[in-house]
Homo-oligomer: A and B are copies of this chain.
Amino acid sequence: MRVLGVDPGLTRCGVGVVEGVAGRPLAMVGVGVVRTPADAELSHRLLAVEQGIEHWLDEHRPEFVAVERVFSQHNVRTVMGTAQASAVAMLCAARRGIPVALHTPSEVKAAVTGSGRADKAQVGAMVTRLLRLDAPPKPADAADALALAICHIWRAPAQNRLQQAVALHASKGRTA
Contact = CB atoms under 8 A, between A and B. Distances in A.
A124 to B, nearest CB: 27
Copies of this chain, how many? 2
Could you say which interface size class chain A belongs to?
A: 20 to 34
A41 B94 CA distance: 10
Nearest to A41: B100
13 contacts: A42-B90, A42-B102, A43-B91, A44-B94, A46-B91, A46-B94, A47-B95, A72-B76, A80-B83, A83-B87, A84-B86, A84-B90, A87-B87
A73 B112 CA distance: 33
A79 interface: yes
Nearest to A85: B87
Interface in A37-60: 41-44, 46-47, 50
Contacts of A42: 90, 100, 102
A84 B72 CA distance: 13
A151 interface: no
A79 B83 CA distance: 10
Nearest to A65: B43
A76 to B, nearest CB: 5
A91 B94 CA distance: 15
